[in-house]
Amino acid sequence: MAREVLFSVSAADCDWEYMRGTGPGGQKRNKTESKVRCTHRASGAVGESDETRSQHDNKRKAFVKMAETAKFKAWHKLECARRMGKLADIEEQVNREMRTNVKVEGRVDGRWVPIEEAPWEGE
């Protein structure tokens, strides 16, 4: 089955911050801004790297770390569904799961009771 590219994520989709790294590495590490933080604007996922003395290498590593976060993966899954026209199906599935798997309780006199039994404020 042939694959089709729905969209791509590049460095242009991210905000980049450069700062001084910490730890061993001597004078060069303490003077140069080789630590890199990559923040994907759409998902809010963040990746950081100060593993090498090279800002270029750390930029690549920070991007990969950002793409491997659970926050980015969740955004990616939803974005794929949205672009394929299947977001409504996923939202309905989530709503179904929430109706059967979410238990809502309120605190009354120091104990938890089903929300139907808990008085609302002002009652």
Single out the residue of 50, 6, 59 nearest to residue 24, CA to CA: 50
Sign (positive or negative) of CA dihedral 65, 68, 71, 73: positive
pLDDT digit string (tens) for 38-76? 999 999 999 999 988 888 999 999 999 999 999 999 999
Q: Supply the mean pLDDT for the chain.
A: 83
**pLDDT: which is higher, 102 or 12:** 12
pTM greater than 0.85 (yes/no)? no
Q: Quote the pLDDT of residue 100.
A: 77
Q: Quote the pLDDT of residue 34.
A: 85
Q: Give yes or no for residue 101 having a pLDDT over 80.
A: no
Q: Give yes or no for residue 21 having a pLDDT over 80.
A: no
Q: Quote the pLDDT of residue 16.
A: 97
Phi then psi for residue 37, to 5 deg, are -120, 125
* Beta-bridge mates of residue 67: none
What does each C-alpha distance from 114 to 29, 106, 109 come to in angstroms? Answer: 57, 6, 13
Q: Quote the pLDDT of residue 123.
A: 46
Topology of domain 11-100, CATH:
Double Stranded RNA Binding Domain (3.30.160)
Domain-wise residue ranges, the chain: 11-100
Q: Quote the pLDDT of residue 120.
A: 59
